[in-house]
Amino acid sequence: MKLTTIPRIKRVSLARPRLRRPRISSRKVPYLLQGGPLNMAWLCSPGTLRFSYQHWRGYYDQSNKWVSL
């Protein structure tokens, strides 16, 4: 098919209200860690896996308290 005319480019009007689709997102709640090597850190979920940092060995439980091993 042969193009005989130049396609028209529509102008974008910023005054016209746009329809916005709702975005799926999770509710982010900060969890403050208490004690241990990361006492000033905030996490997005409670608790951590076991880890070691310098002379610290342990993990944070569900209530974000330090549990040493």
3-state helix, strand, coil in the chain (%, to 5): 0, 25, 75
Residue 45: its pLDDT value, please?
A: 79
The domain spans of the chain are 31-68
Q: What is the pLDDT of residues 7-43, one digit of tens each?
A: 777 777 788 887 888 888 777 778 888 888 887 777 8
Write out the E strands in 1-69: 31-32, 42-43, 51-53, 56-60, 66-68
0.85 exceeded by the pTM? no
Produce one character per residue of 1-21: b if its CB has 16 or more CB atoms within 10 Å, e if not.
eeeeeeeeeeeeeeeeeeeee
Model confidence at 57, pLDDT cuts 50, 70, 90, reads very high
